[in-house]
Amino acid sequence: MMTARITVLAGDGIGPEVAAEGEKVLRAIGARFGHDFTIVHRLIGGAAIDAAGEPLPADTLADCCASDAVLLGAVGGPKWDDVPPSRRPETGLLALRKGMGVYANVRPVVAHPSTLDASPLKREIVEGTDLVVIRELTGGIYFGEKSVRTIDGEEHASDLCTYSTHEIERVVRVAATMARGRRGKVTSVDKANVLETSRLWRRVVTRVMRDEFPDVTCEHVLVDACAMHLVKRPSAFDVIVTENMFGDILTDEASILAGSIGLLPSASIGDAIGVAVSDATGHATGDTTGDAVETTPEGNGSTRRRGLYEPIHGSAPDIAGRGIANPIGTIMSVAMLLRHSLGLDDEARCIEAAVSAALDAGDVTIDVDQTRALPTHRVGDAIVQRLDGVMV
């Protein structure tokens, strides 16, 4: 039995609806495998602004940093458009990522056989897609110095994009180690023909891959070319690693490969947290602090990391409260939470198998299949009902 403390941040828009289904699955997994999960709820984003006047209250950050893992719904919405930029809902999420030290955003994109026709792309293009995007999460233009000033009667705005060698090295190591357990290929995405930060990115990636991962193939692709290749030959990609803004944009584009953005989960992870793990012979290998990561196909294994888990979709305020939001991205994020932060690979695979069975049976929301659409809670129930029947 494992005892773990998990903070749930439902957030805004459809966030509470999908977070409730993720929590439902988490509790069901705990019951099946005999784990004791203590779940606490805290505010973030617009909900926190309404209740406490700020997007990331101190008690929320403290609870998240003290927990074994954090599950997030979504933040933001037009209700808070007039809030000063420094206090918008999204700034709470950025501050949470920085405060938790989660610097690598892991976004798997898999084209499930049952959802191929939900993609606007031809079946033959998306079939066989199985890739992971590793997005650097706490550097780049989103965190750079910002300014707005008036010069000669005109407004001028600037956002500074900066990266350090260390920031690039650590996220590349996550990507390369993950690739070792998959198909052994890393695609580094940059804009090195124009941007100085991208030229540094390419130099660091080249050195790290050459010196530390000579067994992993590495290619460099410009971001605009990558955007094109993602929709022309997505099955050619294995692990993509890129900077913050490029990763944000490319993974939204990649969501069409899966059929709906509502299907895609993510894990924002930091350094290993010092848990003793076992090697192939069953002997303890000691402390895993530093940059060690999992080496099996999807980052599976015993290494545990600090983590923030969320679907990649936004708060979707236009459908909030209608009970039609897709909870699968959140539920698959729960599987990633169990694997990366709690080291519970069997439990993670149980959820993934239950989701796959639900997709095969057509237990989906309207964004995946308009003719067989179920409400949000019914999809969650269908997945929970399949958990006990899954063999792991």
Is residue 345 annotated as part of the catalytic site, yes or no? Answer: no
Is residue 224 annotated as part of the catalytic site, yes or no? Answer: yes
Residue-wise DSSP of 273-327: ----EE-TTS-EEE---BS----STTS-SS--EEEEEEESS---TTTTTSS----
Indicate the helix (H) or strand (E) that contains 159: strand 154-159
The answer to whether 128 and 196 are in contact (CB under 8 A) is no
- Residue among 385, 366, 384 nearest 375 (CA): 366
The answer to whether 193 and 222 are in contact (CB under 8 A) is yes
The answer to whether 244 and 135 are in contact (CB under 8 A) is yes
Dihedral, 382, 384, 388, 392 alpha carbons, nearest 10: 100
- In the set 98, 185, 191, 381, the catalytic residue is 191
Cα–Cα distance, 325 to 58 (Å, whole number): 30
Cα–Cα distance, 46 to 57 (Å, whole number): 11
Q: Name the pairing type of β-strands 239-242 and 185-190.
A: parallel
As beta bridge partners, residue 7 has: 40, 70
Q: Name the pairing type of β-strands 146-151 and 154-159.
A: antiparallel
- In the set 142, 185, 291, 381, the catalytic residue is 142
- In the set 12, 190, 238, 248, the catalytic residue is 248
Is residue 82 annotated as part of the catalytic site, yes or no? Answer: no
Q: In the chain, helix, strand, coil percent, each to 5? A: 45, 20, 35
State the catalytic residues.
142, 191, 224, 248, 252
